[in-house]
Structure 1
Amino acid sequence: MKRRNFLAGSAALPAAATLFSPAVARAEAKVRWRMPSSFPSSLQTIHGGAVRMAERVEQLTDGAFVIQTYAAGELVPPLGVLEAVQTGTTEAGFTPGFFYVGKKPALSLDAGVPFGMTPRQHFAWFHHGGGRELLAEVYDAFNIVSVPAGNTGAQMGGWFHKPVEQISDLEGLRIRAAGYVGFVFSQLGAVPQQIAVGDLYSAMERGTLDAVEFTSPIDDETLGLNKVAKYYYSPGILELGASLNTMINKDAYADLPEPYKIALQTSCAWSYSDMLARYDSLNVAALRRLVAGGTELRAWSPEIKGAMRAAADKLFAEQSEADPDFKRIYAHWKSFLDDQLRWMSVNDGAAANYLQNG
């Protein structure tokens, strides 16, 4: 597609997209990057977000800046994306920060934590609430520039072979749960596992896992989790939104012409909202299909929700005590979230509650 035609038909793009286009037309540099994802190609929501973001960069630069995307395992291991970007093995990667909390706990705040921010709140904190600057200090140690480029929205509570009616039902339960979600389940007696997405179905089928917390109806259906587990829990209080990032090697980013940097940043912002819109649109029909096919939709009991909240608060207090970087960023993050919750109680949240409950 020609640049002028594309831009003419893209009224939804940020104003920056039109401001830098003359510079792109004059630029002669041809740039080719590689960008592995942590997700299989079958997931056209998450991995597809990486593909669509790269396509938008290429369109905005008249084909001069090309990012080749790779699904999980095609180029680097699914959980090895950050390291590949850090070392310069690849110029970029598409993955959430909470996959790497073992390297740096504060990375969880760049993706999502239990009882945390919604996608809208996270985007506001990152771009206008000081989050970008705080997280840049964390990523600097990894030689990475990280930009939000997608969000799943609130995720479901997970799939279970057996009902979870009380806290004791979690004792010894082997569950795939990423980041601090896994730590919360651990506090309640479960045994969290970090398993690549592509291996979840077989692990549940073989019985090496008892439960899986992944994302949402559309992804879970695509992975076939409803075929290996019956009980599907909500609400997703442990993950109100998972932010996916384009992680960029700092040296590669520094070498980009300025118009290409703008194209990349603009495409990431567009991809963030596009992915969320896809989830919101696709999850409704997917959940209907799951329930019609025999999935039993259940809700966490008040006892379990209260225990999860207490476990999360204890975890964040302990992590703040042990890690000054986490403490500093978490305090700022929590203050911003508290203000957002107050605002929602006055307007957005109050209005949504009325529409739902009358």
Structure 2
Amino acid sequence: MLCWSVMEHNPKSQIISLINDSKSILLVTHKQMDGDAIGSILALKEVLEKIDKKVEALVANSLPANLTYLNDYTTLKNRVDIQKDFIINLEIGDLKIDKLGYKKSPDGKNLSIVITPNSGELKTSDISFSESGSKYDLVIILGSPDLESLGSIYNNYSQLFFETPTAQIDHHSFNENYAKINFVDMTASSTCEMLVSLIEAIESSNSTKIFSESIATALLTGIINKTNSFQNLSTTPKSLTVAAQLVALGAEKDKIILNLFKSKPISTLKLWGRILNNLEEEDNFVWAKVSQVDLEETGSHPSQINSVIDNLLKTASDFDFVILISETTEQDMQIEIRSLTPNFDSLALASHFGGNGNNQSSSFIYPIHSDFKEESQRVIEKIKDFINQK
């Protein structure tokens, strides 16, 4: 009896129950559009379709070119229709309706509903109004520690997250547990790693084989992306075990490595050159900045920014940490911090400015009150002050 109770209260089991009880499901993920975000949303979409669910996958931005090898990437949507029906309810009792129609005013701005009973009369007190419910039975949020990380998805469809049951699957330590069901595993390397056990449980619940080569490839993409090909500290023995399991299921490891690490579009190379040209050296760290103009002039996607700090700036030697400042909007910039030595805690620095992350990788948002270049220098001075006070 105790084991059954534990199972029922396990978030993973609760999500599976919600999925099984739902017919129409919306999947969303965070605005960064990295390999874990896209791999998880495409893998779960295919899984749910295999158990006869109606699924739509919504993303905030266009897909990075290096992820177009993933199966069904063209099915990702930037917009969905959540318009509701406006319902006029009429209490007619024993009345028989003779005619039902409508009339438009000459200017087309007014609409009159005309109802003619066979006998008797209708009163205004017989009329009430309502709206249809959400077109989705469930919204599943992938890899997003808070609703704001969804970007334009949350801004454009905020009511959806309060009117529809929500479940989230995430690995971030600073997750805000904002959904109805929160499946959060801070020990996991990625959302894709977490999905493997969830899909196994869905297979068991539905007594059907679900894993395919395309699902395995999408999930391995997320794990390799988040662990930087098993090189960073988020790599655990479980990450390696799960990755080996996915390769055995047919994941195309060589294709993933080629697209994520061994081939770069010319726009990425141009962006790298632009950022290296802006590289500045301080006593114990190096930093660079990238503006919206830099992205536009190099034809780069915002998702390419993180690859710069993880694949390029982190190779700097003889420093404690690296920083990349990116202009995200006219009002804000994002500061990414990566530790280069075990002794430097990047989270302590980010937390001082209201950010989050872990001791190896963290970030925070900083407002732009004037020119981006001037504001970048200002935040670097504040970072230096904080470092010198420690």
TM-score for the superposition, normalised by structure 2: 0.24
More helix by share: 1
TM-score for the superposition, normalised by structure 1: 0.26
More strand by share: 2
The higher radius of gyration belongs to 2
Higher relative contact order, chain-length normalized (CA < 8 Å, sep 6+): 1
